[in-house]
Amino acid sequence: DQQVKQNSPSLSVQEGRISILNCDYTNSMFDYFLWYKKYPAEGPTFLISISSIKDKNEDGRFTVFLNKSAKHLSLHIVPSQPGDSAVYFCAASVDTSGTYKYIFGTGTRLKVLA
């Protein structure tokens, strides 16, 4: 029973256009959300995060939107670049007795076409 779902396993976008990656969650106790990017043969790299008290966080070309009522977050990349081609993981954080645990989605493979 997955608490964090990324329903699109892959996405292709033309260079310069917007990439939108989606993530849904089921646990209303999640209070912090993160996006990680992973290249082949490398570990996940932290990209951007958002606290549940906000609905938007922006960092350069990357913006994360949080819709708590819909239990949905999305990552927007504008403009998309070929170097953005990677697998993107959504993660949600929950406090379990003083330790924060991350629950990850299965990832979306983004391909940015030149």
Task: Tell me which residues touch another protein (CB under 8 A).
Answer: 2, 4, 31-32, 34, 36, 41-46, 49, 51, 89, 93, 96, 98-107
CA dist 15 → 45, 55, 85, 106 (Å): 22, 27, 10, 24
- By beta-carbon proximity to another protein, the closer residue of 65 and 102 is 102
CB of 52 to another protein, least distance (A): 10
Write down the residue that tokens 């993660």 correspond to.
Answer: 91
Of 53 and 114, nearer to another protein (C-beta) is 53
For residue 79, whether the previous peptide bond is cis, meaning omega lies within 30 degrees of 0, is yes
Residue number with CB closer to another protein (12 or 51): 51
The total of other beta-carbon atoms located within 10 Å of residue 110's CB is 22
